[in-house]
Amino acid sequence: MAHRLEKDRKSNLRARALSALVLGPLVLGVVYLGGWPFRAMVVVAALLALREWVRMIVPGVLDRTFFVSCAAIILVVTLHLLIGPATALSAAMVATLVAGLVAGTGATAVRPKDRWWSAFCIPYIGLSCVALIWLRDAPQIGTALICFLLLSVWANDTGAFVVGRAIGGPRLAPSISPAKTWAGFWGGLATAALALAGVAIGYGAHSPLIAALLATLLAVMSNCGDLFESAVKRRYNVKDSGGIIPGHGGLLDRIDGLLAAAPVLALFHWLVGAKLGWW
């Protein structure tokens, strides 16, 4: 039995590694292209993640809430491109209210305690869509900002996985995600800070120290996003949000940290980043 579990674990690790080797360069290639290819990738990923979210809340049913939410995400992105992020985010809040009300009607009405969880996917995913597109469209440094964001999340995930498995120790949040440890948490933060400080130095950024501190903040937010999705899965007794990525589960399982970190980087760059000229 133990031998079989070890074999399954190694097989899962191989699948994870192969998926990362295929998807990583593909995503970075689209980031480099920017423009409509990047926007299309963001929207497609958002709709797939939205589908997984709704199915976690209402298993086996893609009811009217799902289609309202899809329309809302497309509307939010369109308004952002045509008018600006403020209008898009306002529309997301209104669409959330509409989706929540719609979820409580019809033959497939969602239970009252779950319908707002179902509708929450609109601001949860829509806000990140706006943030990602806004960051990539930043003049001159859009590619660098997105790569900085992705590398912060990836470095944190890798460091947390390696250090957590090597050291073990007390659990970070045993009632939510039993596999996560405090050693892995601090290891992920340190890996993100060191890796992004090195990238900033190599890239010739104006302030590698700010880059390291910001990478640490993004790593913390990535952990928060991961724990948040784990809590939702625990609430609805779901192991993985889906099975679209071999070794990783669903798309939400892969981008939960990114969904939390992207708005933070966008907010930082909008408020003080451009003034500091840190990159």
Summarize pLDDT for 70-100 with one digit per residue, the tens: 999 999 999 999 999 888 988 888 888 888 7
Max intra-chain CA distance, the chain: 59
Decide if pLDDT at 3 tops 60: no
CA distance 121 to 228: 13
**DSSP class of residue 269?**
I
Residue with tokens 């009405």: 109
Q: How far apart are CA 264 and CA 131, in angstroms?
A: 9
Q: How many CA atoms lie within 13 A of 89 on its CB side?
A: 10
The CA distance from 192 to 103, in Å, is 40
Length of the chain: 279
User: What span, in angstroms and rounded, lies between the C-alpha atoms of 96 and 119?
Assistant: 5
Instruction: Note the pLDDT tens digit of each residue in 34-54.
Output: 999 999 999 999 999 998 998
Instruction: Give the span between the Cα atoms of 165 and 160, in whole angstroms.
Output: 8
Each residue's pLDDT tens digit, 154-200: 999 999 989 988 998 899 888 888 888 999 999 999 999 999 998 88
**Tens of pLDDT, residues 116-130:** 888 888 999 999 999
**Token digits of residue 31:** 């980031």
Residue, of 17 and 87, whose pLDDT is higher: 87
pLDDT of amino acid 115: 78
Report the distance separating Cα 208 and Cα 258, nearest Å: 22
Question: Residue written as tokens 């943030």?
Answer: 131
The number of beta carbons lying within 10 Å of the beta carbon of residue 202 is 9
Residue 208: its pLDDT value, please? 86
Give the pTM.
0.89
Residue 5 pLDDT > 50: no
Q: Is 45 exposed, middle or buried (0-12, 13-18, 19+ CB in 10 A)?
A: buried
In contact, 159 and 188? CB cutoff 8 Å: yes
Query: Do residues 73 and 125 make contact, with C-beta atoms less than 8 angstroms apart?
Result: yes
Tokens of 12: 């899962």
For residues 142 and 86, is the Cβ–Cβ distance under 8 A?
no
